[in-house]
Amino acid sequence: MIKSQVEAASGGNSPTTVLTSAFLRGTEVWLNAQSEVLSAMEGLMADWLRRRHEAFDSWSRSFKKMCECRDAVDFVQVQQYWLYDAIRLTTLDVRALAGETVMSASKITTGVEKPVDSANADILKTRRGKPEAAGGPPVERVAAE
């Protein structure tokens, strides 16, 4: 008798089935968010490695020029060009990190919010239109037998 009342209250689904379904949806949302984070991080790391390669090339060229210098003025000028390049590349790194962090955070929060809302809507649909109190938890009435 109690089991049939519980099944009737949950729209024919057992509480275990509803909880398992909600847990699996939450897990799916979390895994999708992690996948998006890792995909974004892959792109970030590739760009970062490219910039590191460019910085190393700049340092290598500058070092060769410094070794070939015969005049102190030329040596200082090569150092200044190298310093300018290093500052430029560092600025690009900071801009990329700041921009990608903000974009990734907004993308992830948007991606997580939508499926959670749709999961709640699906659970409410399984309740088969039972009346709900305004602003409160759903009201359930079980017919006494």
Q: Residue 132, SS3?
A: strand
pLDDT tens, 76-93?
999 999 999 989 988 988
Quick check: is 139 in a domain?
no
Domain count, the chain: 1
Quick check: is 140 in a domain?
no
Quick check: is 81 in a domain?
yes
Quick check: is 11 in a domain?
yes
Per the structure, the complete domain to which residue 32 belongs is given by 2-126
Question: Which distant-in-sequence residues (6+ apart) come within 8 Å of 51 by Cβ?
Answer: 89, 92, 93, 96
67: pLDDT strictly greater than 80? yes
pLDDT tens, 34-61?
888 788 788 888 888 998 898 899 889 9
CA pair distance 78, 85, nearest whole angstrom: 11
Quick check: is 69 in a domain?
yes
Quick check: is 122 in a domain?
yes
CA pair distance 118, 112, nearest whole angstrom: 11
